[in-house]
Structure 1
Amino acid sequence: MTLMKAVTFRDFGGPEMLQLTEVARPEPGPSDVLIRIHAAGICYHDVLSRAGKIPRDKPGQILGHEIAGEIAAVGSNVSPDRIGERVVIYQRLFCGQCPYCLAGRQDLCRNSRVLGENGGGGYAEFTCVPAQNAIQMPDGLDMTTAALAVCPIGTSVRAALGVAKIGPGDKVLVTGSGGGLGLHQIQVAKSVNAHVIAVTSSDEKVDVIKQAGADEVIISPDLKFSREVWRLTAKQGVDVVLENVVTNTFGESLRSTAQNAKVVVLGNIGTRPVEVDPGLLIVRRIRIAGSGNATYADVRRSLHLLATGAVKPFIGRVLPFPDVGQGHALMEQKAVVGRVVLSGW
């Protein structure tokens, strides 16, 4: 049995639960590829998993689904020419046979799971995935950058361009704009010439939010921002809300909308239910939609945006894999701007 380094968590709890260990290196099945992991992003989903806030997760697993690396070995049904290929991993392990998969909506497959939810994730030296989940990256992209292509950038592409269908001139409100999703959503929206209003609770993040391309930034420590949105839009409201926070912001987001607006929900930081005013939905004809993982097409667009420089990754810290607990702590404390990426042992 060949061993590899990995970081697992022994029980639900704080970042201190994450520990460096050695586990059996996975072996590729006939249709799989073995990926040598060069970089892995820390998603807030990982933080919630470790804290025990995602019911299906279990302690002891290897978290992480934002992965870039190279193919080190292949199964018998995979061309050996793929060995050495630089790839990102499509994070949803899907069936490929249901109507959603056949229609290119792998994100909706009911017979799927996200890599890392039940182990096999990116906080390790190697992982095995079906060959179809390894997507070749463009030449010139470094691994640290590419690790963000599927999530958060691909997730932002799905929400902004796939679900909200943002177009030129649309007024777009982004909550949690200083986070790993928000900073990339701003850039994706600007790539199609939308007008972006960003909300942040911290004045320390204003400069980086403007750097991402936001047209206006609202600093709202108490998260009461709808009045300012109305002022900035001449009392018309916004056409689209990209809602990354939800807890403590959802009501204000709804009140910030124009007639026939779309509110796209991506996150729920507090993991709590929120109240909705049905009258407001009716009067303004507001459409609320959930959004999650990217599709394959979204990932390819994400890689193109990165390769052309239309979207630049916001990486607050790069840490060695054994320091992943520090990365989780930084994210929980909102002490980092953008993503934390792991690289090197």
Structure 2
Amino acid sequence: MKAVFITGHGGNEVINVRECEYPQRRPGEALVRIEAGTLNQVDLYMRNSGAGITHQLPLIMGLDGAGVVEKIDADETRISVGQRVVVFPGMSCGRCEFCRRGDDVLCTGMKLMGEHCDGTFAQWISVPVENLFSMPKHLDFVQAAAMGVNYLTAWRMLFTRAQLKPWETVLVFGVGGGVSLAAMHLAKSIGARVVVTSREEGKLEKARNMGANETINSQTHDVAKAVMALTEGRGVDVVVENVGEAVWSSAMKSLVRGGRLVTCGATSGDQPPADLKRIFIRQLQIIGSTSGNSSEFKQLLAYAERHRIIPMIDSVFSLDDIHQALDRLESDGRMGKVGLALNPPK
């Protein structure tokens, strides 16, 4: 079988597609034929350096995946052979205090596929059965794979951490990115008023076509002032951001008194001015969030099926075209998920 390996750190030259042995299925695991995966910013980070993430090279890339179950234990009842499944990429210890209380995303021994251990960009993988969830019936394999990181991250940010309500207004920074696009999509699906930003007018137009209530070009407008104009001086209830330093001041100034800012990234820098006076005088809440737990993933998939949520797919590449897929992920014009087709049609 073929898989995508990181063999060093640098550029695309350290990413190779190579033949490798089929995975050995262990008791409690399922052998899955992976039909599709999608790329995430962490794939670029792992390629570039992987700094701060314990890993050994060579490493199979990929956090997202969807496919078909081919082998399981004879007495397994949770899934069945032939079932279409989505991979949950987090592998928790099941024993620490966070696992015991049901929030395995905070597990002290958490390992993520494609980061700490081999990932999903392989034609077959063997994973614990508890990491597999039934695919929403209305999605294809690429669309289903897209749920595993970006949509799960946005789900936890909006509904677990920020507790967004249908009558509230949310500001989403950088709507071209995967998490931001998912956050816009999910927030709009519950009826919230959604304001999005981007530096590119084309992405703002696409966001409006997808249902964004208002858009702000952050290249030509002061975001905080534009938000205040749109909300008659009130501000938004929730800010969703993963940019960090470059937008932090605007994000803080855009919040209503008592508002919540939820963040899951710092692509422009992780040391923004704290603006403590604004935080305590206006009683703002700054909330960190990363990925999601297995219970949230189950909730997300059920919600997606019930409400016919379909992730936006920018493009799909073959396994052998992983370099082009990574280039597309890095490109400014991308909007939506970059997919990877891992097994050709039979």
- 1:286-305 to 2 correspondence within 5 Å? 286-305=284-303
Assess, with a 3 A threshold, how the Cα gap between structure 1 residues 205 and 109 changes in structure 2: closer, same or farther: same
Which residue is 1:319 aligned to? 317
Aligned residue number for residue 281 of structure 2: 283
Give the structure 2 partner of residue 125 of structure 1: 123
Tell me which residue corresponds to 1:146: 144
Q: Is residue 308 of structure 1 aligned with residue 306 of structure 2?
A: yes
Shift of 1:55: 2.3
Q: What is the CA-CA distance between 1:49 and the residue it aligns to? A: 1.1
- Kept in 2, the 8 Å contact 1:187–1:310? The answer is no
State the distance in 1 between where 2:202 and 2:339 align.
21
Q: Distance in 2 between matches of 1:310 and 1:72?
A: 27
| Counterpart-to-counterpart distance in 1, 2:96 and 2:173 | 34
Which ranges of structure 1 fall in alignment gaps of 5 or more residues? none
SS at match of 1:87: strand
2:187 pairs, out of 182, 189, 192, with 189
2:105 paired residue number: 107
Paired position in structure 2 for 1:20: 17
Summarize deviations over 1:169-217 as a string: whole Å, max 9, x none: 2110101112111111112111221111101111121121112321100
Distance 1:146 1:306 in 2: 10
Corresponding residue for residue 197 of structure 2: 199
Q: State whether structure 2 residue 34 is matched by structure 1 residue 37.
A: yes
Partner SS state of residue 236, structure 1: coil
1:48 aligns with 2:57: no
Give the alignment partner of residue 72 of structure 2, picking from 60, 71, 74: 74
* 1:176 aligned partner, one-letter code: G
- Normalization by structure 2: what TM-score? 0.93
CA distance in 1 between partners of 2:205 and 2:162 (Å): 26
Residues 223/287 of structure 1: CA separation in 2 closer, same or farther (3 Å cut): farther
Contact 2:103 2:293 in 1 (8 A): yes
Partner of 1:331: 329
Quick check: 1:226 aligned with 2:224? yes
- Rate the CA distance shift 1:271–1:67 in 2: closer, same or farther, 3 A: farther
> Given the alignment of the two structures, is residue 6 of structure 1 paired with residue 3 of structure 2, yes or no?
yes
Mapped to 1, the partners of 2:13 and 2:269 lie a distance apart of 22
SS in structure 2 of the partner of residue 66 of structure 1: coil
What does residue range 256-271 of structure 1 map to in structure 2 within 5 Å?
256-271=254-269
Equivalent-residue separation in structure 2 for 1:129 and 1:59 (angstroms): 20
Deviations 1:286-340 (A, max 9, x none): 1111111222232223223332344221110011112122122222222311110
Partner of 2:211: 213
Give secondary structure in 1 for the equivalent of 2:122.
coil
Amino acid across the alignment from 1:7: V
Deviation string 1:76-133 (CA, Å, 9 cap, x unpaired) is: 6635972222111111101223332232211111121111113321111111211111
Alpha-carbon distance in structure 1 between the residues aligned to 2:50 and 2:233: 39
Taking a change above 3 Å as real, the CA distance of residues 284 and 19 of structure 1, as seen in their structure-2 partners, is same
How many aligned residue pairs are there?
342
Counterpart residue identity of residue 8, structure 2: D
What is the letter of the counterpart of residue 276 of structure 1? A
The 8 Å contact of residues 183 and 212 in structure 1, kept in 2 or not, is answered as: no
Cα 1:52–1:66, aligned 2, differ >3 Å: closer, same or farther? same
Q: CA deviation at 1:284?
A: 1.2
Q: TM-score, normalised by structure 1?
A: 0.93
| Aligned residue type for 1:218 | I
RMSD: 1.9
Give the CA deviation at 1:271.
4.8
Rounded to whole Å, the distance in 1 between the matches of 2:155 and 2:337 is 17
In structure 2, distance between residues paired with 1:270 and 1:223: 19
Q: Aligned-pair distance for 1:39? A: 0.7
8 Å Cα contact 2:136/2:304 also seen in 1:
no
Contact 2:176 2:334 in 1 (8 A): no
The residue matched to 2:240 in structure 1 has which SS? strand
